[in-house]
Amino acid sequence: MFHQYRIAMVRSEREQLSGIVEIDESLVGGVKHDGKRGRGSSKEIVVIGVELKEPKGFGRVRMRHIPDASGDTLVPFVCDTVRLRSIVQTDGWGGYNKVQEKGYLHQPIIQSSMSDPAHVSMPGVHRVASLLKRWILGTHQGSVSTHRLFPVISKSRICSP
């Protein structure tokens, strides 16, 4: 019942994130299968967008459960959650390559070329991912089912350049 209340409380017409927005994916949940860890377990992918505030701090957050980390699922998330002409900071993953074609200023942060760890170069999404995982562990003892993890509230907007 609480799940239905949470869905009803989300405003589908809420404002999009703007300014500088960090976006990254995170693996959530998962149970070991046959002793496998990491990608061998049943983890779910959640894409996270965090608004950065100047001079410091974080603003609004958007999250969505996605089936894969391809451009076909990541770019529509950006179009749905971020206002056009905003600065979108991502890691160097190729799924974000077409973000600039859609009207955003794309700033990829390539981790392999930096000496800083990921949580230093993109602190917003990594802090939110950490809090999400801690909440799932504390509230649900680490167990979440796929159909209850961030259901899609509204249809995706069509991305146009």
CA distance 143 to 139: 9
150 residue type, one letter: F
In total, how many domains does the chain have?
1
Query: In the 8-state DSSP scheme, what is residue 82?
Result: B
Q: What pLDDT score was predicted for residue 153?
A: 34
- Is 143:42 a contact under the CB 8 Å cutoff? no
Report yes or no: 143 and 43 within 8 Å, Cβ to Cβ: no
Residue 81's CATH number = 3.30.420
What is the extent of the structural domain holding 30? 2-148
Output the CA torsion 116→122→123→129 (10° steps).
-120
Which pLDDT score, from 0 to 100, does residue 155 have?
Answer: 42
Tens digits of pLDDT across the chain (161 residues): 666 666 666 666 689 999 999 999 998 876 655 655 554 557 788 999 999 998 889 999 999 888 899 999 999 999 999 999 999 999 989 999 999 999 999 999 886 666 666 666 788 999 999 998 888 778 766 666 666 655 543 344 556 55
Domain for residue 156, yes or no?
no
Structural contact between residues 95 and 88, judged by C-beta atoms closer than 8 angstroms = no
Classify residue 88: in a domain, yes or no.
yes
Query: Is residue 154 one of the residues assigned to a domain?
Result: no
Residue 97 lies in a domain: yes
